[in-house]
A and B are shown apart, each in its own frame.
Chain A
């Protein structure tokens, strides 16, 4: 069997807080997963679960303290920036905030040309490529002479996607790319992601807190909590019939738009919480952590 496009083994990331205490905080603890070619792995979790940190570690933007990251069979865990330029250009990124991820003083054309020129493309070739990219993400060709502030959030996110596609990556880390968008824009941008994946065969690591978004785009799903992967499995199964208690709570806590069904879901959630409370120590994420009383 051929090797996966990306395989992560026992990944841990520690952040050292500055100051006198020098305590370190483990953001990711012993995470292992893989992503195949043309596949989307959805990474879902709540704030502070470490899901974005995994993405940043893969991109070389967060310090890896243990474990390994292999991309196309090559260990890229501790590559320097210069080495990464040579060998890991196949991994690109789309960030959440479409406002701060584009330099406000550069035109769209300049933003898109940047990675191409850095790679050593010729000016004319880059121009042609930019037209193709803009077409790919559904923006008009004259967008290239405009500035980011002249675009809406959804359009900016298209630009960020175009920039990620410029180097023809094999993997794109998508860090909450639709979270800042309105419902309708969100659906359209998600479909753009899927469309691009079908056409180019690119893989995604799709990080989001929204189970519905994750379900829509992910072939496989990993659920994260407090730095640990608690469940990894088939996308349909994890987003509709999760096995881990936390994944179940997460699913039942996401409200649905049908009032009748939401009422059911709420009742189910209350039942589940009561059940888990009786077998487990503290459950509710918002409850103060006190030693649980075991029956």
Chain B
């Protein structure tokens, strides 16, 4: 029923994985969850499963050790410890849950509204949050004790209010990040109400962090609740874990086991909550990182022999020669994925050579391999790289970079350090690499800036990167590339981030410089217009292989490969205008 069968690269493991289900795969998380469920069940079923009434004291059993009659022994009033633990769980867990519920009720909506709408409400909420965070929780609870009395529930409600900022701040920051996503704009344009946008697009994003935070906060609330009871501020008549600790502490020498059991239960519960929260976080972070890496798109590395015999004979004149280059990336625990499969190219001294291809064709990988700058996980797995006849290895490359080989990157502004002036960034390599003194380096830097067509070199020299435009920044980087008097400049999409008028200026600068100084340029780009403007020879890449190489004019006029023809046919510049296109269609309809 479909018209165009498109090859969808599908990740088979990739269904909507519920956070919880995924988390429970880890044994630690599963163990923690089981412990928590058991404790919760014990608390719920306490009246039915507890062997004794928790308040029933039997003076003959005071400080009784563990026995068949009292499995965990009895306390200072001869009450059964196991029964008190079971019943105590109701108050301890219940109190913690009340605090967390209050914190959620206050924190989540306020964070949502503050993050989504911003404005005055946001300011007010942030101010209040900061104030509450600054208050020391336990001290406030103690100070309020005369008002809250001995009721666990009241003091836990107050504690919940104190905890609310931790949710509010979390939700606010998550939401204000999401608010700027284009899909929120698209939803607005689709006519969705704010309520629906928040429900459909925003809540989904904040849900997981909230769950994790809840587990953490539960542990804290449990601890604080027990702490209050331990200090004797709770209702001592009702059994609670903190109250039991208090009793045990008072009688630490007569009945040390009084302290042990509530301590263990409290510790286990808090540890289980913290471990579960950690596992949830791991899964959530893992999901985002492995999701984009595309687990399913695994291409096994099978060293293919076909490219080997097609290797060109080594050239004697070439400045840079790449023969049969293979580059592979390995991500943790997976088989390395080869992205360049035996590519060869050559740059003669003083020649401008282009490498053109679509995204993912491996063109940038070649440039990075030459400079030994492959990102983490990537490495050269085969082939030879030589510069002036000498093999390029990490050590020799390091010596050549900044001297014989210079690099012009794609994003000019991100390649300048915002903390230093342009001048400082130009002078430093001149002094370190070029061995010039401060005055000579400054003079040379100003010359270089003038050389790349910057009208007021001294003004740019003193400027910080944020004070100059992208085109100016690219000129600065070209000036920097020139500082080592290079024989080869590697330019990776040097004009892609720039406007066309600026691009034309930058291409002019590169052309003039090459003409004057006679260095070679290896230019990586996706743009055939840039190739036509600058390059003498060009390599066309596809899927990690060089498919065709020819002088630029020959390639344009008479491409040999089907792929090159296909690429060229998709160039729009000489296509008919829309008016002409419509006229064609009208003609067809008439015929």
Residues of A whose CB lies within 8 Å of any CB of B are 40, 46-47, 59-61, 81-82, 84-85, 89, 91-93, 95, 97, 100-107, 114-115, 118-119, 131, 134-135, 138-141, 143, 146-147, 149-152, 155, 160, 163, 166-167, 182-184, 186-187, 190, 194, 198, 209, 211-213, 215-219, 234-236, 239-240, 249-250, 252-262, 266, 269, 284-288, 290
Given contacts A81-B188, A262-B532, A285 and B196 within 8 Å (CB-CB): no
Given contacts A92-B189, A151-B8, A255 and B182 within 8 Å (CB-CB): no
CB contact list, B534-591 vs A, under 8 A: 552-553, 556, 566-568, 570-575, 577-582, 585
Q: Is the CB of A92 within 8 A of B190?
A: yes
Residues of B whose CB lies within 8 Å of any CB of A are 1-6, 8-11, 14, 16, 181-183, 185-194, 196, 200-201, 204-205, 291-292, 294, 358-359, 454-456, 459, 469, 471-472, 475, 499-505, 507-508, 526-533, 552-553, 556, 566-568, 570-575, 577-582, 585
Q: Is the CB of A249 within 8 A of B501?
A: yes
Measured CB to CB, the closest approach of chain B to A107, in angstroms, equals 8
Q: Is the CB of B191 within 8 A of A84?
A: yes
Which residue of B192, B193, B526, B567 has the most chain A CB atoms within 10 A of its CB atom?
A: B192
Q: Is the CB of A160 within 8 A of B499?
A: no
Which residue of A147, A183, A219, A261 has the most chain B CB atoms within 10 A of its CB atom?
A: A183
> How distant is the Cα of A29 from the Cα of B572 in the complex, in angstroms?
31
What residues of B have a CB within 8 angstroms of the CB of A284 in the complex? 501, 505
16 A-B pairs besides A97-B182, A118-B196 with CB distance below 8 A are: A85-B191, A91-B189, A93-B186, A103-B183, A141-B2, A146-B10, A155-B6, A163-B186, A184-B570, A194-B581, A213-B572, A253-B503, A255-B507, A256-B532, A257-B571, A259-B552
Q: Is the CB of B573 within 8 A of A186?
A: no
Measured CB to CB, the closest approach of chain B to A284, in angstroms, equals 6
Q: Is the CB of A259 within 8 A of B553?
A: yes
What residues of B have a CB within 8 angstroms of the CB of A190 in the complex? 572
What residues of B have a CB within 8 angstroms of the CB of A141 in the complex? 1-2
Measured CB to CB, the closest approach of chain A to B523, in angstroms, equals 12
> How distant is the Cα of A105 from the Cα of B18 in the complex, in angstroms?
11
Q: Which of B5, B471, B568 contacts A286 (CB 8 A)?
A: B471
Which residue from chain A places its CB closest to the CB of B468 in the assembled complex? A288
What residues of A have a CB within 8 angstroms of the CB of B454 in the complex? 288
Q: Which of A217, A262, A288 contacts B578 (CB 8 A)?
A: A217
What residues of A have a CB within 8 angstroms of the CB of B531 in the complex? 257
Q: Is the CB of A235 within 8 A of B189?
A: no
What residues of A have a CB within 8 angstroms of the CB of B526 in the complex? 182-183
| Closest 8 pairs between A and B when the two form their complex, measured CB to CB | A255-B529, A115-B190, A257-B528, A236-B577, A46-B499, A101-B182, A286-B471, A253-B504
Q: Is the CB of B455 within 8 A of A288?
A: yes
Which residue from chain B places its CB closest to the CB of A288 in the assembled complex? B455
Given contacts A150-B9, A209-B499, A288 and B205 within 8 Å (CB-CB): no
Measured CB to CB, the closest approach of chain A to B560, in angstroms, equals 16
Given contacts A215-B575, A215-B578, A288-B459, A139 and B188 within 8 Å (CB-CB): no
